[in-house]
Structure 1
């Protein structure tokens, strides 16, 4: 076996209740392989293939409410049936000695009526749209906002108590519902959820506090993409907005905060990591209980450099986990990494092809050997 590489990436780390054996995390990846919105045995196989002893996986976005969905065949997590479906995956990961968090998700205005109850308009902070040819969303009423806060808490409770996830990650990034409240180009409200930064952040912190009533802080994380301008997001003063949010998150003793700057879609190939705008926000996070995960185009080399520079505590990888179920070992031992394909039919929806049929390095080498016989 080759000599291990990247000593910081392969050093232990305490994150919340978890003692991680290494610092490479599988970041959330929507794969659209859960018909009827229920996680299934095929999903369990996919996660088990990518699990490692002492390693953390974060699930694909899982919806918290019937209004939360915006895509076909994504899993949900707001009923006991949903949670029991997810239990197949958590059990499979735990059998391999790994950990798994559930990402809690509401897409807001990025949905469409065909995904909504009774084909109603999608909902958001205000009657705005992220697409030129798409009808504006319907602005949530205050009672509906309060109900969604409780929906997040319900999903978190089901995730930990029934599905047996090791924790939950609140998706507050990438232009989805929580960011639609945070950013002032999408939030046009004039009530207690609009206007000032404090008001626009109210929805987020009500969700955090509602979840913390039912799940320990050591099992709660959050994903933030400061000043990323994804999917129609743009704030007039992003530094002030995200400085306020991250400063306040210091108060909660969360498991981790994921800072993400994607490198997919129109954001390819992404910024040089050493000069990323995320580096402006990292010094704000000072709570010793809360670790910092970085995601967005990282490799073993770039991740090791980020840890060495103190920009984060651990690193999330996305697409490399799709084509390399054994990516952790490939990075550790300097083995060739199979390149991911551009987003297409195999990313979102389908069967085992492009999902659970990618070989490990050992399987590839065995196939080459057998082909020569």
Structure 2
């Protein structure tokens, strides 16, 4: 059965223009980064399936952000995830950016280093992080997409202080490749327990050098990378994704309000294009606090003068309420955008939504990825909600 919502409560503010740096978006319904493991295995080259997927979801004046895209071969976290460190990857992304732009879409790429959330079979060398935590790799719930299927992460090592500059340079190279690939800007993945988040939060960062200890030190790598991306793109074409108080991939901090408040104030001073907030009511692809309001965007939007994209657990009605109240400037829909390639049209017109099939989220073919129907065919073969 299709999911129905009221057009009256969902179309007032979501479909008004919003300025994001030098770009004016025509609506506020965003496709966020969603790792769905459809790149060419091992090579990180975006596939024909990804070309179809992003083209299907492009809309005139709407923002699309790519799935997490590795900045280097040693930064990879998933065997079927894309990258932006080779000429072949750049050329494949260029096909996709051209197709998205042909439909009037705005296209950012999310630059990603997985850090400890990886496996030596993927990175080719021991994964790196802020500090060694044997309990993390001993937890068999921490799994990744490896060449021979899903398996627990492998042991990691802490980056030496003098190695960190090379990581920053990898971000610079990937940002330059993003320009060559025709993107409109870049987003830094600083959430969900990947490398930047591992430096930010004190349960993963026990360093004693200038990248550890105080909040200012733990935020140093994030801010160095943002400044580097801004050198390539200009700060007003750089976004940052954060996950305050989110426990995904074993993350946690002793004082998240102080930590993320400091980070957001620093990002605001840099004049970045937008702030992208994952609400703690979701953990990965799961909602863990259904009735919790969007507390992170409510708090942090007060500290940031640019647009805030709120993500995690929204439906059309709650999205409209959040934007209308000023708690967020835009809303990212993950699960609903996977199941509804024409989601902005459906929300604007109050049309029923296809339910999503969770069992096909992390697969390797068209099923549950590019075969969801557009509205004109939506009565055929609806999937059960999962």
Same fold (TM over 0.5): yes
Q: Which runs of 4+ in 1 moved over 6 A?
A: none
How far the C-alpha of 1:255 sits from its partner, in A, is 0.8
Name the TM-score, length of structure 2 as normaliser: 0.88
- Pairs within 5 Å for 1:19-168: 19-35=24-40, 36-117=43-124, 120-129=125-134, 130-133=136-139, 136-160=155-179, 162-168=180-186
Q: Pick from 164, 168, 188: which aligns with 2:206?
A: 188
Partner of 1:316: 332
Name the TM-score, length of structure 1 as normaliser: 0.91
RMSD: 1.9
Question: Contact 1:185–1:233 at 8 Å: present in 2 too?
Answer: yes
- Pairs within 5 Å for 1:197-276: 197-261=215-279, 263-264=282-283, 267-272=286-291, 274=293, 276=295
Task: Specify the SS of the correspondent of 2:227.
Answer: helix
Partner of 2:14: 9
Partner of 2:323: 307
Mapped to 2, the partners of 1:34 and 1:275 lie a distance apart of 32
Task: Specify the SS of the correspondent of 1:212.
Answer: helix
Mapped to 1, the partners of 2:284 and 2:238 lie a distance apart of 29
Higher mean Cα deviation, 15-24 or 125-134?
125-134
Task: Indicate how the Cα distance of structure 1 residues 70 and 275 shifts in structure 2: closer, same or farther if over 3 A, else same.
Answer: closer
Task: Indicate how the Cα distance of structure 1 residues 191 and 222 shifts in structure 2: closer, same or farther if over 3 A, else same.
Answer: same
Partner of 2:371: 357
Task: Specify the SS of the correspondent of 1:37.
Answer: coil
Gap runs ≥5 in structure 2: 1-5, 140-152, 382-386
Question: Contact 1:259–1:292 at 8 Å: present in 2 too?
Answer: yes
Asked whether 1:292 is paired with 2:311, we answer: no
How far the C-alpha of 1:219 sits from its partner, in A, is 1.0
Task: Indicate how the Cα distance of structure 1 residues 43 and 222 shifts in structure 2: closer, same or farther if over 3 A, else same.
Answer: same
Question: Contact 1:293–1:314 at 8 Å: present in 2 too?
Answer: yes
Mapped to 2, the partners of 1:75 and 1:184 lie a distance apart of 29
Question: Contact 2:120–2:154 at 8 Å: present in 1 too?
Answer: no
Question: Contact 2:247–2:283 at 8 Å: present in 1 too?
Answer: no
Mapped to 2, the partners of 1:264 and 1:188 lie a distance apart of 24
How far the C-alpha of 1:275 sits from its partner, in A, is 5.6
Mapped to 2, the partners of 1:142 and 1:261 lie a distance apart of 32
Question: Contact 2:185–2:238 at 8 Å: present in 1 too?
Answer: yes
Mapped to 2, the partners of 1:72 and 1:297 lie a distance apart of 27
For residues 220-275 of structure 1, the C-alpha deviation after alignment (integer angstroms, 9 at most, x for no partner) is 10001112122111111111111111111111111100011262558524353536
Question: Contact 1:274–1:306 at 8 Å: present in 2 too?
Answer: no
Task: Specify the SS of the correspondent of 2:332.
Answer: strand
Partner of 2:362: 348
How far the C-alpha of 1:324 sits from its partner, in A, is 0.7
Mapped to 1, the partners of 2:50 and 2:99 lie a distance apart of 10
Mapped to 2, the partners of 1:135 and 1:145 lie a distance apart of 21
Task: Indicate how the Cα distance of structure 1 residues 275 and 353 shifts in structure 2: closer, same or farther if over 3 A, else same.
Answer: closer
Higher mean Cα deviation, 224-233 or 260-269?
260-269
Task: Indicate how the Cα distance of structure 1 residues 328 and 207 shifts in structure 2: closer, same or farther if over 3 A, else same.
Answer: same
Partner of 2:148: none
Task: Specify the SS of the correspondent of 2:232.
Answer: coil
Task: Specify the SS of the correspondent of 2:302.
Answer: helix
Mapped to 2, the partners of 1:326 and 1:83 lie a distance apart of 27
